[in-house]
Structure 1
Amino acid sequence: MAMGGVKIILVEPAGPLNVGSVARVMKNFGFNQLVLVNPQCDFLGIEAKKMAVHAWDILESAVSVATLPEALQGCRRAIATTGITHHWQAPLENPYTALPWLLEEIGQPAALIFGREDRGLTNQELNYAQRFVRIPTSSNYQSLNLATAVAICCYELAKEDKENEDDTTRRHESRSFPLSPPHLVPPSSSSASDESSSDSELAPLDVVEAYYQQLESLLLKIGYLYPHTAASRMEKFRQLYNRAQLQTREVSMLRGILRQVEWALENKSDHENS
């Protein structure tokens, strides 16, 4: 099941009842990876376990980390949930259309990020995701309980995963022709395919983050960025690259360019001093 690789990430959850309820809905829909970023409550206490009911194992195996980048370690795809409708340039998508994207790379870790109960995710935290989901609610009362939001998203993912599984089963059952004999397949084709697919996979988010840090450092050095505006300008770069969905080899190429620029700057400075 592709959804087995999806991490449910809660950023600074404040209510143990909410965390317990999240664990319960995760188990309802077959999810088991809960990651808590700087939790503001006792997620292993009696209140959390009371709401989790038979999902104690989800709480007990939950991973607590200090920062969102730590929670995203190893993930290639990340979707953040948000209620923001203003001051955010990236498109906000419906869960039905956006969430299946998390399941496209079977076996690769992916993340679904939820913000604080009272104020959601900051712009800086939203920058770590590549796509953004807003659950449509009534204009009379738009705020959703954290566990309810998690349940809606988990349901959409579980439904998509089941449909994919059913499609795969139907394709196998409908085959009326034999597979090609092994000796007709060129010996090198599988290894070449594996190599090219690994190059073309989406880059892990921590690899992309390292590129952002290198880019910001260089742009500050050459005066394109200024310290007091760097965060807002880098936000635009992040949104641009998130839309591009960078592959591993593309990040390597971009980092190579930055290294060459840094080398040229250092050598120019040495030449001028001499």
Structure 2
Amino acid sequence: MPELPEVETVRRGLERLVVGRKIVSVDVRVPKMIKTDLTAFETDIIGQTFQSIGRRGKYLLLNLDRQVIISHLRMEGKYLLFEDEVPENKHFHTFFKLDNGSTLVYQDVRKFGTMELLDEEEVADYFRQRKLGPEPTENDFDLATFAKQLKASKKVIKPYLLDQTLVVGLGNIYVDEALWAAKIHPKRTSDSLSDSEISLLRDSIIRILQLGIAKGGSTIRTYQNALGENGSMQDFLQVYGKTGEPCPRCATPIEKIKVGGRGTHFCPACQKRCQKLLE
């Protein structure tokens, strides 16, 4: 599933490809992927221009003249731009014909991705309702608030980080990486974390996600950016997908377990579950 670095890379690609281009026609071939009124989606955006491409967590914001298309890529969604004829592909589901003759195509093998058309003034409330946490940056991701939330909860740390309320953008890959960097077992409860662990976890989340952006995301399974290019963050992963390989820190074999129904990679020596062993 694309996580924040992958979505940010797609955003930057789309910014280069379509900003300033006017939509002249829309063809939606899988109606269920449009979560607002389909007729309005196919008619209201015609004649509008892509003004900018934004992002909130894992959501893309395709900002038009008067409205915003909120796009969530889910498991395998991606955008492709064709300058001339669009080839036949059963996984191409939405087509935006642009004023220069090119076509922006949304591709999704699993058809899990979604698009919603909102008026500009509705966007802020849309994200408030989803209770999204701050962006993972030094300015937005406040340590004191993060610590207060963790200490007030008995939730298991990995699924809590995945639910997007503490901080946005983390998925399975980067949660495993951040917990390894902070030496925190993925099954620890949030209220068991010490102040120093919380501080290190916050710093690790920011650093790893920023590195992921710099490397263009992780190309695992079928992810590509909006320019059809692969990212290279997978070359810098320390534990995700490394089952049985030596931990880069202590050489203990990396293990894989299930946490909250998700495959989870960790080092059993560096990331101990018992708080007493950490003191």
For normalisation by structure 2, the TM-score amounts to: 0.25
The structure with more strand, counted as a fraction of residues: 2
Which of the pair is proportionally richer in helix? 1
